[in-house]
Amino acid sequence: MTNADGRITLDLNAPAPVFKIDDIFDREIDLTKYKGKKVLIAFFRHAGCPFCNTRVHNLQMHHEELKSKGLEMIFFFESKKELLKSSNFHNSISPIPLIADPDKVWYDAYGVESSSLKSAKSHFTSFFQKVFEAKKKSLPVHWMAGNESIKTIPAEFLMDERGIIRKVHYAKGLRDRMSIDIIKEFAIR
């Protein structure tokens, strides 16, 4: 589907764009091999983003429970592999696959938005609170590096056992994420 600003977005009940790519741990992540499993595919901003790193931390806290219910997770960051590998926090994400996509090939394929307005509004209203929260949890917070963009807006997708997108969440701001309860509910259905 194409939305009002001309960006391609994913439709519900459509096949997920299939990727076959190495994660930062040099493991081949082939989405076709996830057939028979439910998957949360999450697109984050850069490696130093406090909004994204607190979300990743939160999802990590639920990883074992979700996995026991049959839900896998795959995370994308727009940062380069070397930057993610240099972070103890991002290395600790394993066994969850963490894919570096600095050229945003898969961001584009999944219709991840770029919005100066949404980013600015989120930074203005809640940046310092989120930095404080991230620092309190010893999560990385730093400026962007390389081609990372301040305008990237996160997105999350729930894929069923047949590779079909069943839930789409294009964030309205940097704090807007799919509810953990919705993810848990999807996992047990």
Q: What's the pTM value of the predicted model, to 2 decimals?
A: 0.89
Residue 109 within a domain? yes
Two tokens, residue 20: 């076959």
- Whole-angstrom Cα distance, residue 186 to residue 189? 5
Residue 4 within a domain? no
- Whole-angstrom Cα distance, residue 158 to residue 177? 12
Helix axes 50-68, 180-188, angle to 10 degrees: 20
Query: What's the pLDDT at 144?
Result: 66
Residue 49 within a domain? yes
Residue 141 within a domain? yes
| 113, burial (CB in 10 Å: exposed 0-12, middle 13-18, buried 19+) | buried
| 8 A C-beta contact, residue 93 and residue 75 | yes
Residue 32 within a domain? no
Q: How many domains does the chain have?
A: 1
Residue 161 within a domain? yes
Domain housing 67: 42-188
| 8 A C-beta contact, residue 164 and residue 14 | yes
Query: What's the pLDDT at 39?
Result: 98
- Whole-angstrom Cα distance, residue 56 to residue 77? 11
CATH number for 122: 3.40.30
Q: Helices marked H in the chain — which ranges?
A: 50-68, 81-85, 88-91, 105-109, 116-136, 180-188
Residue 136 within a domain? yes
Query: What's the pLDDT at 1?
Result: 56
Rounded to 5 degrees, φ, ψ at 25 are -95, 15
Query: What's the pLDDT at 150?
Result: 80
Residue 108 within a domain? yes
Full pLDDT tens readout for the chain, 189 residues? 555 566 678 888 999 999 999 999 999 999 999 999 999 999 999 888 888 899 999 999 999 999 999 999 999 999 999 999 999 999 999 999 999 999 999 999 999 998 777 777 766 777 667 667 767 778 767 676 777 778 899 999 999 999 999 999 999 988 889 999 999 999 998
Return the ∠ at Cα 95 (arms to 94 and 100), rounded to 5°: 50
